[in-house]
Amino acid sequence: MPAHTVSHDYVKKYLSAIAKMKNLSLSDQRNFYQQANVHCVYCDEGYSQSGFPDKKLDVHNSWLFFPWHRWLLYFFERICKNLLDDDTFTLPFWQWDDSSGMQIPPMFNDSKFSLCDCLRNPKHLPPKVVDLAYNYKGTDSGIDPKTQIQYNCCTMYTQMITHSSTAPLFFGQPLLGGGDPDPGAGSIETEPHNNVHDWVGDPSQPNNEDMGVLYAAGRDPIFYAHHANVDRMWYIYDNVLKRKNIKDPDWLNSSFIFFNEAARPVRVTVKDSTNLAKLGYTYPDLPLSWLDCKP
C-alpha cells in the first residue's frame, strides 16, 4: 500500500517490526543492521564472485538489479511478518511516481514515531517535492513544486516507456559469472532509482549517507519503501504495460543466498522471482498519471 496513505495503526505495527529487528542480537541475520549489511555484501564490489577471485561482485548496474532487490524485500517482509506474528503485514511503497506521493512519506518523517535515526538531507524533508532526476551535486534545481511535479511525471514516462522499449533496456545488461561488474544499468535503476537515493541522503556526510551510498542505504527504513516502489515498476512493466521479461537461461538460473525469517540461509533463483503470485504478494492497480506525460 502507498506509504503516504497508511493508517496510524499500520505505522505502529511497522514501527514495532523495525524495533523488534533492531532488538535482535547483532549476530542475528534478521537484525535490522544485518539486513542493511546483506545489501552491502552484494553491492559496491566488496566481495569476489565465487570461483573468480579476481572478479568483484555487484548486483547493481546490471540485469540482476530487479530480481535481487525483489528477493531482499521478500525476505525483509517475511522477517517482519514473523516477528510481528502477523501474516497479513505487508511492506509499504513510497509512491514517488504519483503527485500525491512525491514527498518523504509522513510515516518516515514523524519524529514521535522515531522510525528514522538515520541521516538525510535536511533541505529535502516535507513539504519538499522530490526531484526524480536529481543530480547529486549538493544543489537543488530550485524550481517550484508544481513544475517539479510535471517534470517528475515526464521523467516517469521517459523511463518507463521511451527508455524501456526492450527487456535489456528496462532490466539492464547481462552480468555473467566471471564477467566484470557494472555492465550497464536498466532505465529505472539509472533514473529515478539512483536519483532518489542521492536526493534523500545527507550531502554534509562524507558519502551522502545514509541513502546516498550503497553500504549505508539500508540503515534508513525509507530504503525498503523506495525499493518497494522500484519493484512496483517491474510489476507495472509486466502487468500494465505487458512487456516481456528476459528469457535468457543465464538470467533465469542466476541465484543468490538470503537469510530467511528463521535466520537460515536459503538459495533463491531469478526464475522464482518473476512470478509475484508465487511469492504471495501483489500491488494494487493504481492510476498512473505519468502515462499521459509524454514530454
Residues in contact with ligand C2O by the rule CB under 6 A: 39, 43, 60, 69, 193, 197, 214, 217, 227
CB of residue 268 vs ligand C2O: minimum separation in angstroms? Answer: 16
CB of residue 146 vs ligand C2O: minimum separation in angstroms? Answer: 28
The secondary structure of the chain, three-state, reads CEHHHCCHHHHHHHHHHHHHHHHCCCCCCCCHHHHHHHHHHCCCCCCEECCEEEEECCCCCCCCHHHHHHHHHHHHHHHHHHHHCCCCCCCCECCCCCHHHCCCCHHHCCHHHCCCCCCCCHHHCCCCCCCCCCCCCCCCCCCCHHHHHHHHHHHHHHHHCHHHCCHHHHHECCCCCCCCCCCCECHHHHHHHHHHHHHHCCCCCCCCCCCCCHHHHCCCCHHHHHHHHHHHHHHHHHHCCCCCCCCCHHHHCCEEEEECCCCCEEEEECHHHCCHHHHCCCCCCCCCHHHHCCC
Q: Exposed/middle/buried for 263, CB within 10 Å: 0-12, 13-18, 19+?
A: middle
CB of residue 129 vs ligand C2O: minimum separation in angstroms? Answer: 20
Q: 91 or 217, CB closer to ligand C2O?
A: 217
Q: 115 or 214, CB closer to ligand C2O?
A: 214
Q: 60 or 120, CB closer to ligand C2O?
A: 60
Q: 124 or 197, CB closer to ligand C2O?
A: 197
Cis peptide before 192 (omega within 30 of 0): yes
CB of residue 88 vs ligand C2O: minimum separation in angstroms? Answer: 27
Q: 35 or 245, CB closer to ligand C2O?
A: 35
CB of residue 237 vs ligand C2O: minimum separation in angstroms? Answer: 17
Q: 217 or 270, CB closer to ligand C2O?
A: 217
Q: 36 or 107, CB closer to ligand C2O?
A: 36
CB of residue 166 vs ligand C2O: minimum separation in angstroms? Answer: 23
CB of residue 181 vs ligand C2O: minimum separation in angstroms? Answer: 13
